[in-house]
Amino acid sequence: MRPIGVFDSGIGGLSIVQSIIETLPCEDIIYFADQKNIPYGEKSEEFLQNRSTEIVNFLLSKNCKLIVVACNTATTMAIKILRERFSCPIVGVEPAIKPALEKTTGLIGVLTTVATSKSEKFNELIKKLDREKRVIVQPCPGLVEAIESSESNLEVIDNLLKNFIQPLQSQNIESIVLGCTHYPLIREAISSSIGDKIQLIDSGEAVAREVKKQLMKNNIYSDIKELRKLQIYTSKSKEELKNYSEAWS
C-alpha cells in the first residue's frame, strides 16, 4: 500500500505519471516537481547527484517503496549514485530509441534537450542500437523552459517547434522520439507541426512496464482494486505548479 515516488525538474514527469496510472491504477503516487532548479540540463553532475539524493530522501520520508527518476538528464547524471546509496528499486528514463527502431524501417528523429544530446550515456545508447545510422538527433534549446513558463503560449511553442522539426522533415523521417519527459505534454502541438504521417514515440509506456516489473519482482505490488491517489509537491510555488499543470493537462 506504500506509494511510488516520482520526480523531475518540473511538470514534465507528469507525462510519466500518466502512463504509470494507466498501467497501475491501484498504486498511490507521490510526485515531486523540482521547479526551483529547472532546467536540470544547465546543472552540473555534482549538483544533480546531490539534489537527486535530497529528493529521494524526501520521497522515502513519505514512505515510498519505489522511485522513478522521470528525467533523462537526471537519469544520465545521477541514477548510478542513487542506486549505490539507496536500497529501494529505482527506475530511470531514457529516450525510446529502441522501440522506435523496432517500429519503423526509415529514418528516426529524436527531439532532446541540449544536455541529453551531449551526454555520453545517450550517445553510447545510440551507437549501440543504431547500427544502420537511422537516428537523427535534434536538440531543442529553450523548449522545456517555454513549457514551464507561465508567460508562454502555444504560438511561442509552435515557433520553437518549427525550427526544430523542419530539419527532420527535410530528411523524410518516419517517426519522432520525444526524448524529454516535458515533450509529451505538448504532443498535440508537435502533431500539428509534423502532420499525421510521422509517428510520435515517447518513453512513458516502457517506464510504466518497468515499474510494474520491479514491483512484482520485489513483491511490493498493490492489488487493491480501486483507483488510488496522486499527491504532488513542488520546490517552488504551489500556485505556479497548479497553473502549469492545468495548462498542459
CA of residue 237 relative to chain centroid, distance = 21
- Do 124 and 179 fall into the same domain? yes
Spatial separation of the C-alpha atoms in residues 216 and 195, rounded to whole Å: 39
Residue 234 pLDDT more than 50?
Answer: yes
Told to judge if 180 belongs to the known catalytic residues of this protein, a careful annotator would answer yes
- Do 61 and 133 fall into the same domain? no
CATH, residue 130: 3.40.50.1860
What pTM, to 2 d.p., does this model score? 0.87
- Do 169 and 46 fall into the same domain? no
Residue 248 pLDDT more than 70?
Answer: no
- Do 170 and 230 fall into the same domain? no
Q: Which residue, among 31, 29, 83, 91, has the nearest Cα to 222 in the 3D structure?
A: 29
Contact 56, 82 (CB under 8 A): yes
Domain that holds residue 148: 97-201
- Could you read off the pLDDT of 16-70 as tens digits, one per residue? 999 999 999 999 999 999 999 988 888 888 999 999 999 999 999 999 999 999 9
Domains of the chain: total: 2
- Could you read off the pLDDT of 166-186 as tens digits, one per residue? 999 999 999 999 999 999 999
Tell the burial category of 40 from Cβ atoms under 10 Å away from its Cβ (0-12, 13-18, 19+): buried
- Could you read off the pLDDT of 56-103 as tens digits, one per residue? 999 999 999 999 999 988 998 899 999 999 999 999 998 999 999 998
Query: Which is catalytic among the residues 64, 71, 88, 140?
Result: 71
Cβ atoms < 10 Å from Cβ of 89: 19
For residue 165, give the C-alpha cell: 522539426
Query: Which is catalytic among the residues 64, 88, 140, 180?
Result: 180
For residue 97, give the C-alpha cell: 530509441
